[in-house]
Amino acid sequence: MISKLVNRTIDLVLATIFLIVFSPVFVFTAIAVWAYDGNFPFYHHKRVGLNGKLFEFWKFRSMVVNADDILFKNKELYKKMRSGNNKVEDDPRVTPIGKFIRKYSIDEFPQVFNVLLSDMSFIGPRALRPDEFDEYKGRNKENEKKLNIMITVKPGITGLWQVSGRSNINFDQRIDLECSYAKKKSILLDIVILLKTPFAVLKGEGAY
């Protein structure tokens, strides 16, 4: 109980500081995304959270507005997504502005509101889409076991996967990392990940 209270307090403090420091980036990015095609600058989608509960996940929109429809209608693109790390390098749906904000993880900034709402933590596993979760879980019992461990903690804006190479790590390795984090979660580990995050973001490795 005490550890949960400490973690929640840390999340609220970090989220508040983040919003104050990066408020100009929020405003500029929202305007830039909207100005590119005149559409809503944010993207939201259901994701799997703590204990498997679904929540509304927010990002700056880095793709065309009908990106999800294109993905599910384009069998070749969908196959590429699922055969790798659920990301495709040079994805045709990503806008020019989207490429930039993805490289430096600016598209992830709105998730700070998910932290304030307690759907997410500042540090934790990357939240999976329901279709990603169900597909991976359905492959075998070992995968199901890993996912069940992973969802014992809240998903995070940053985490072990993000500071370990992001999309350069395949999906199986990613789940292993997330599962390892959930097992070892501690304030010390969170501090290490938090300190590594700015360097991983500036390096832009595996970000596309």
DSSP class of residue 39?
S
pLDDT digits (tens, 9 = 90+) for 9-35: 999 999 999 999 999 999 999 999 999
pTM of the model: 0.86
Tokens found for residue 155? 């998903």
Residue 208 lies in a domain: no
Residue 114 lies in a domain: yes
Residue 192 lies in a domain: yes
Residue 91 pLDDT more than 90? no
pLDDT value at position 208?
Answer: 52
Dihedral sign computed on CA atoms, order 16, 21, 27, 29: negative
Structural domains of the chain, count: 1
**Rounded CA gap, 194 and 25, in Å?**
20
Residue 73 lies in a domain: yes
Q: 63 is in which domain, residue-wise?
A: 2-203
